[in-house]
């Protein structure tokens, strides 16, 4: 029998050409394989580095209480759920976690997803279709709506993809520009659309905080639902780590609050906090909930421990903000532009993408890991080093990274193509 001949596929040729180009591109980023995870130090390639790029803001991922809770979960449940919750894979530990997450966000319920990315895709793609899906079971809505999403231009890609999957209209407004948003909402009202406003709470590449009170005011004025992605705010903003709403003391029945569990809370998963009737609709209509497994139950057990620590150890959040202020104070005399100082995400503008990559390489040589963020994650010509502060950073580590940045200031740092 003759061996099958490889298909002469044009797309495979294209992919091969792209891979060859990427390998030789001067700003090509290849993921590195590490021996340990940052808390915030980590081991890689036989050396120990200090991470200024980890999402593990409160240094909880390796906390003994989370590890112990996860081990107990493993002993009780095993390593995986292996079934959709909708079809019989539900567990008490998931429901307990959802209740706690809802309470953190001042909502009566929450819906747990396997990741934050899947939460945005699963909720945003389905909520505008809920009435249509319910029609299959005999439901008849009082009015048919023409839905339109109004999305901040710097929203996370999972938001953009979720909106695209929904099939609804989408309008982007300039970053945190409420005048532009209102102009778009006004035009939509004249066309008879039903609006949904979507914004990050904290913007991951900018470090800015969405003007939530203004967003709520516009949502109420134009009858919009407001969806806030609190991935980088949950556990960080607010007196108790409740996120953007707690930061502003701004709550509304019209807000859907999404969050991730893989950042400040140190594990994995995503959720959306809503009122109980809305939660039930999401559970029945979102494919990303009903047609896949939830996070492993040991992660849910670890997250319950993380929520306990969020309440019991507020000093972690205090240290995080003290480190944030210390870094800003030490960087101030060096002449760098920090794009935003509102949050623990502190993007230092470099501008040129190749120069930014060279900065990251030089910092790596000094035992420091910092992400060089460039297009498409940042606008062309606005590449930046994204410093992310951590409760586990020491003053000596911050002094060291600032000292390296001082030495690099003004040097000609260019990559050789």
Token output for 252 = 């509304």
204 as an active site residue: the answer is yes
> pLDDT by residue (tens digit) across 332-356?
999 999 999 999 999 999 999 999 9
SS3 of 284, please?
Answer: helix
Q: For the whole model, what pTM was predicted?
A: 0.93
The span from the CA of 185 to the CA of 169, in Å, is 12
The span from the CA of 337 to the CA of 356, in Å, is 13
Find the catalytic residue in 204, 245, 262, 286: 204
pLDDT score, position 415? 43
Fold of 64-311: 3.40.640
SS3 of 225, please?
Answer: strand
Find the catalytic residue in 63, 107, 247, 263: 263
Q: 3.90.1150.10, 1.10.1370.20, 3.40.50.620, 3.40.50.720: which CATH number matches 28-57+314-408?
A: 3.90.1150.10
SS3 of 9, please?
Answer: coil
Alpha helices in 167-296 (DSSP H): 178-190, 212-222, 244-248, 276-285, 287-290
CA quadruple 271, 274, 276, 278: dihedral, nearest 10: -100
> pLDDT by residue (tens digit) across 146-195?
999 999 999 999 999 999 999 999 999 999 999 999 999 999 999 999 99
The span from the CA of 194 to the CA of 146, in Å, is 6
232 as an active site residue: the answer is yes
Find the catalytic residue in 105, 107, 156, 232: 232
Token output for 52 = 């200024």
User: What DSSP element (H or E) covers 343?
Assistant: none
The span from the CA of 357 to the CA of 29, in Å, is 9
The span from the CA of 90 to the CA of 109, in Å, is 16
Residues near 258 by beta carbon (within 8 Å), at least 6 away in sequence: 116, 119, 120, 123, 227, 228, 229, 230, 231, 270, 271, 272, 273
User: pLDDT tens string for the chain (417 positions)?
Assistant: 556 665 678 888 888 888 888 777 655 555 678 888 888 999 988 899 999 999 999 999 999 999 999 999 999 999 999 999 988 889 999 999 999 999 999 999 999 999 999 999 999 999 999 888 777 777 877 778 899 999 999 999 999 999 999 999 999 999 999 999 999 999 999 999 999 999 999 999 999 999 999 999 999 999 999 999 999 999 999 999 999 999 999 999 999 999 999 999 999 999 999 999 999 999 999 999 999 999 999 999 999 999 999 999 999 999 999 999 999 999 999 999 999 999 999 999 999 999 999 999 999 999 999 999 998 889 999 999 999 999 999 999 999 999 999 999 877 555 433
CB 303 within 8 A of CB 92: no
CB 130 within 8 A of CB 166: no
Q: Where are the domains of the chain?
A: 28-57+314-408, 64-311
CB 370 within 8 A of CB 53: yes
51 as an active site residue: the answer is no
The two domains 28-57+314-408 and 64-311 share their CATH topology (first three levels equal) = no
């Amino acid at each position: 029998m003759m061996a099958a001949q490889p298909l002469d596929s044009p797309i495979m040729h294209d992919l091969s050409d792209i891979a060859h180009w990427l390998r030789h591109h001067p700003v090509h980023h290849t993921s590195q394989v590490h021996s340990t995870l940052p808390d915030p130090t980590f081991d890689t390639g036989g050396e120990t580095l200090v991470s200024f790029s980890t999402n593990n803001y409160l240094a909880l991922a390796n906390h003994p209480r989370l590890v112990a809770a996860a081990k107990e979960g493993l002993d009780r449940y095993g390593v995986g759920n292996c079934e959709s919750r909708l079809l019989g894979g539900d567990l008490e530990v998931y429901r307990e976690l959802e209740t706690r997450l809802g309470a953190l966000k001042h909502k009566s319920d929450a819906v747990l997803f396997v990741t934050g990315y899947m939460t945005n895709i699963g909720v945003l793609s389905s909520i505008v279709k809920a009435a249509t899906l319910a029609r299959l079971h005999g439901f008849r809505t009082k009015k048919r709506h023409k839905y339109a999403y109004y999305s901040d231009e710097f929203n996370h890609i999972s938001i953009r993809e979720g909106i695209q999957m929904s099939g609804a209209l989408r309008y982007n407004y300039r970053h945190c520009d409420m005048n532009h948003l209102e102009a778009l909402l006004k035009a939509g009202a004249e066309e008879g659309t039903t609006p949904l406003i979507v914004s990050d709470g904290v913007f991951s590449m900018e470090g800015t905080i969405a003007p939530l009170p203004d967003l709520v005011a516009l949502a109420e004025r134009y009858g919009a639902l407001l969806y806030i992605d609190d991935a980088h705010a949950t556990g960080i903003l607010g007196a108790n780590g409740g996120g953007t709403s707690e930061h502003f003391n701004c709550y509304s029945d019209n807000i859907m609050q999404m969050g991730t569990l893989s950042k400040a809370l140190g594990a994995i998963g995503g959720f959306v906090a809503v009122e109980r009737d809305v939660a039930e609709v999401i559970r029945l209509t979102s494919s990303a909930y009903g047609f896949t497994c939830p996070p492993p139950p040991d992660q849910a057990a670890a997250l319950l421990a993380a929520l306990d620590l969020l309440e019991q150890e507020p000093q972690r959040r205090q240290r995080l903000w003290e480190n944030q202020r210390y870094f800003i104070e030490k960087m101030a005399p060096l002449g760098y532009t920090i794009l935003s100082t509102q949050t623990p995400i502190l993007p230092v503008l470099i501008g040129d993408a190749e120069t930014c990559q060279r900065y990251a390489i030089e910092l790596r040589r000094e035992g420091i890991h910092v992400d060089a963020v460039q297009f498409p994650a940042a606008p062309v010509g606005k590449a930046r080093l994204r410093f992310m502060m951590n409760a586990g950073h020491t003053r000596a580590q911050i002094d060291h990274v600032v000292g390296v940045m001082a030495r690099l200031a003004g040097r000609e740092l260019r990559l050789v193509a």
